Amino acid sequence: MTISVGEKIPSFNLKAVAGKPFKDITIDNVFIDVTDKSYPGKWLVMFFYPKDFTFVCPTEIAEFARLNGEFQDRDAQLLTGSTDGEFCHWAWRKHQDELRDLPFPMLADNKHELTAALGILDKNAGVAQRAVFIIDPQGIVRFSMVTDLKVGRNPKEVLRVLDALQSDELCPCNWSKGEETIDLQEATAA
């Protein structure tokens, strides 16, 4: 069962490929440790994909990377990951042009501990499901979504949901940042 909204993100400590421009990566800084405590005070947007060296996954990762500055403007840290190991992630980044300068870490859950704890380990394929979680600065899951392994996500929708969560208001369907929210007192008085 997938972790539910309102629950605390499980503790984790994973190896990752550092999120930085390819030219700045050396053998001494390519691999880092990332834990559930690595980004104190920040919102986390964690998105998982099935496998490295596949076809849908790089399109999503590249689009999240393109929007990275907008997530950073909202005090959110992007993290991506799969059940592949850190060496596989590094090989993929080196050979996939749109991933070479990835600005956020790629988590390696090769022991399947985090994906199992989140409830997103696909029982048939043995890989991470295509899932995204928005976690508030207190470590509480505020949004989760899991799609079929074949269906890519819309990173702009994830950004829109983050905006809605950070507004701390009642947000109607298709609400976007800057639009009117629902005034509960006004709505109940009508």
Residues in the chain, total: 190
Is 57 tagged catalytic?
yes
The Cα–Cα gap between 86 and 78 comes to: 17
Q: How far is CA 168 from CA 56, 162, 165, 172, 183, in A?
A: 33, 10, 6, 12, 12
The Cα–Cα gap between 138 and 1 comes to: 22
Considering 57, 88, 171, 173, which one is annotated as catalytic? 57
Question: Known catalytic residues?
Answer: 57
